[in-house]
Structure 1
Amino acid sequence: MKQFFAFVKKEFFHIWRDKRTMFILLGMPVVQIVIFGFALTNEVKNAKIAVLDNSKDAATTSLIAQFSASRYFEIEKNLTNYNQVEAEFKKGTIKLAIILPPHFDEDLQHLNKAQVQIIADASDPNVANTLTSYAAAVIIDYQNRITNNRKLPYTINTEMRMLYNPQLKGAFNFVPGVMAMVLLLVCTMMTAITIVKEKEMGTMEIMLVSPMRPQIVVLAKAVPYLLLSMVNITTILLLSVFVLEVPINGSIFLLAFESILFTLVSLSLGLLISAGVDSQQSAMFISLIALFLPTVMLSGFMFPIENMPLPLRTVSNIVPAKWYYIIVKSVMIKGLGLKAIWKETLILTGMMIFLLTMAIKKFKIRLA
């Protein structure tokens, strides 16, 4: 055991002397969680819109003020005629146009109804759908305010309730996914490179002639990265709570345990990659490029897995980030316990055992 800790200490000193490695291990996760946490969002805020008010009465003035007060819209221009609408869209200065017809207030008072036309730039259909939904919600809110709860004929009131994320913040969806991506890529890449570097420098054979068994050498190389990953987990959670305002609704100890388990899976995958390649470039390519796309595309945090064809849904089951993403959302966002995530926990445990066994076995065959 004393020799094992000596190997671990040696690896710590090796990492500490390499400032670039320290930056990748501790700096890159911080940069990624902040950038992705703010950049990766399906919310649309401060969208520039144009308003054509053909009525200019008290009702339209109040409705326009409600659009202006919304954090989702910013009135870029007040139009004077309908021909200007298409011209503004062609300029690319607006994403949405609100058209208010003449006699708007009069129609509301005498007919109990009025028309509002919403025109959106559908060159980006997702943004267009989102903005039209926001605009419809503003109009409905205005309608509910002016009716003062009066019962109108054939009026249907719909009550909506958003569980777990009432403000519909995009960070609630992307933070768990970014956590999975950061831990998988950083842990896998750094662990894969470290053993291959020893091979290239010719120092791995020197270590193998020591009384330590090859399996213990492999584990000793992974221990420092496990401890540094625990620092990254703590940093990511602190940034998520205090910077991105994503609460931890479940047990923080359960979340930490699952994060460590996922880190062990990533480290085992890195060890397996390092045992199968002979150059740092190959190790970096496989761990960074070959794992990045499956993590982003098939983990479920960018695109719903349910919408994918059956072959891709099947392949997604071997992506560790998918199961960790489900765990983090269940514990961190929904506040659930181990009873709800036992299946995902067993899957990650099985992956860790399989990958670590394969890494040790392949390493022994190649170098022992």
Structure 2
Amino acid sequence: MKRFIGFIKKEFYHIIRDKRSLFILLGMPIVQIILFGFAITNEINNVDIAILDHSKDVTTQEIINKIASSKYFSIKEYIANETEIERSFKKGKIKAVLIFEKDFSKKLTKENNASIQIITDASDPNTANTISNYINSILRNYQQQINKNIHLAYQINPNTKMIFNPELKSVFMFVPGVMTIILMLVSAMMTSISISREKEFGTMEVLLVSPLKPFQVIIGKVVPYILLSIFNATVIVLLSILVFEMPIEGSLLFLVAENILFIITSLSLGILISTVSENQQKAMMISLVTLMLPTIILSGFIFPISSMPWILQAITNIIPAKWFVIILKGIMLKGVGISYLWKETLILIGMTLFFIMLSIKKYKIRLE
């Protein structure tokens, strides 16, 4: 029995001394429960919306204040006319616009009937539906309040219009996300594991003493993954067009260029992971923690970022997938070009340069 207890103690000591085992046993559950608990939600919070108020009377102001005071919405801007609506949506600043008709209060009191149009960005159909339902609920609540002491009830008629995906096809949301995940995993994870495998088996040193120069070895390792990723991206786009009838409203050439940029960004991240990984196991673990979960949960293609706690919202800014999903939706669904997506493009370029510079700094070759 003493031998058995001693054996158990030895196993405990072994686990405690192994930092990787401790992280998997204790760290991963904490990270996962925080991510899944806070990020995975069907609720919306702090969604940016715009107001187009043709009436500008007391009633419309009361409704606007009621919407703004809820935790669900934040008034991002006030639009002057209808021509600004599409531009605001394409900039990605807002998710919905509320349009109050002219003489709203007068029609409500004299005709007992007034209309509000709700325009939502349906590139994310689940969020668009939720926004519409929440606004309708707030309007119904306001209507009940003003009808308490009135015999002839006032009627507010909300009319909802979905743009960029009027049929609310969920595939329009999932195609950009799936493309992002596949390109990230093939480009970054496979590259990091491939280079780490060479280092683990000692074949990297054999390659480095060959007539090829070190940078040629690294380029030779990543070129196949660039070609595979471009092939994957092409297949996904063709399937989304031919099978799922997904439109590409923007420039196809611009879409290709952005895909190649994201592939290079992912490859540079994979090389960075390989520089800090001595073996495939460590490369796989780092890739899963830093790529798989963040790409799925924190990229914004499934769960709205605005509904996450501020700390997670801040973290999403360093996730390359977030910016690529915005770019894909902008090109494919909204038909926008570089004039609207220059910021996201520059961020990906900056991340690529940062990953490459950090990889060069950390990459140390020792030939003995």
TM-score range, shorter-chain basis? Answer: 0.5 to 0.7
- Are the equivalent residues in 1 in contact too, given 2:176–2:325 (CA < 8 A)? yes
State the match for 1:175 in structure 2: 175
TM-score by length of 2: 0.56
- Are the equivalent residues in 2 in contact too, given 1:215–1:360 (CA < 8 A)? no
State the match for 2:262 in structure 1: 262
- Listed as ranges, the matches of 1:105-116 within 5 Å are none
What is the SS of the residue equivalent to 1:162? strand
Describe the superposition over 1:11-30 as per-residue Cα deviations: whole angstroms up to 9, x where unpaired.
xxxxxxxxxxxxxxxxxxxx
State the match for 1:276 in structure 2: 276
What is the SS of the residue equivalent to 2:212? coil
- Are the equivalent residues in 1 in contact too, given 2:186–2:225 (CA < 8 A)? no
Q: 1:363 to 1:157 in 2, by over 3 A?
A: same
**Amino acid of the structure 2 residue aligned with 1:342:** W
- Listed as ranges, the matches of 1:151-300 within 5 Å are 157-300=157-300
Q: Distance in 2 between matches of 1:214 and 1:351?
A: 23
- Are the equivalent residues in 2 in contact too, given 1:187–1:270 (CA < 8 A)? yes
Q: Distance in 2 between matches of 1:154 and 1:308?
A: 37
What is the SS of the residue equivalent to 2:222? helix
- Size of the aligned set, in residue pairs, is 224
Is 1:362 paired with 2:344?
Answer: no
What is the alpha-carbon root mean square deviation over aligned residues?
Answer: 2.6
Q: 1:160 to 1:182 in 2, by over 3 A?
A: same
User: Which ranges in structure 2 are unaligned for 5 or more consecutive residues?
Assistant: 1-41, 43-125, 137-152
Q: Give the drift of 1:244.
A: 2.2
Describe the superposition over 1:96-131 as per-residue Cα deviations: whole angstroms up to 9, x where unpaired.
xxxxxxxxxxxxxxxxxxxxxxxxxxxxxx9xx98x
- Are the equivalent residues in 2 in contact too, given 1:189–1:284 (CA < 8 A)? yes
Q: 1:189 to 1:367 in 2, by over 3 A?
A: farther
Q: Give the drift of 1:211.
A: 4.0
**Aligned-residue identity in percent:** 55
What is the SS of the residue equivalent to 1:160? strand
Q: Distance in 1 between matches of 2:244 and 2:286?
A: 31
What is the SS of the residue equivalent to 1:175? helix
Task: Tell which structure's C-alpha radius of gyration is larger.
Answer: 1
Q: 1:335 to 1:215 in 2, by over 3 A?
A: same
TM-score by length of 1: 0.56
Q: Distance in 1 between matches of 2:333 and 2:367?
A: 45
- Are the equivalent residues in 2 in contact too, given 1:185–1:288 (CA < 8 A)? no
**Amino acid of the structure 1 residue aligned with 2:314:** T
Q: Distance in 1 between matches of 2:219 and 2:361?
A: 12
Q: Distance in 2 between matches of 1:289 and 1:358?
A: 19
Describe the superposition over 1:56-101 as per-residue Cα deviations: whole angstroms up to 9, x where unpaired.
xxxxxxxxxxxxxxxxxxxxxxxxxxxxxxxxxxxxxxxxxxxxxx
Describe the superposition over 1:304-348 as per-residue Cα deviations: whole angstroms up to 9, x where unpaired.
111122211111111000000000010011010111100000000
**Amino acid of the structure 2 residue aligned with 1:273:** I
Q: Distance in 1 between matches of 2:367 and 2:317?
A: 32
- Listed as ranges, the matches of 1:1-368 within 5 Å are 157-365=157-365
- Are the equivalent residues in 2 in contact too, given 1:268–1:355 (CA < 8 A)? yes
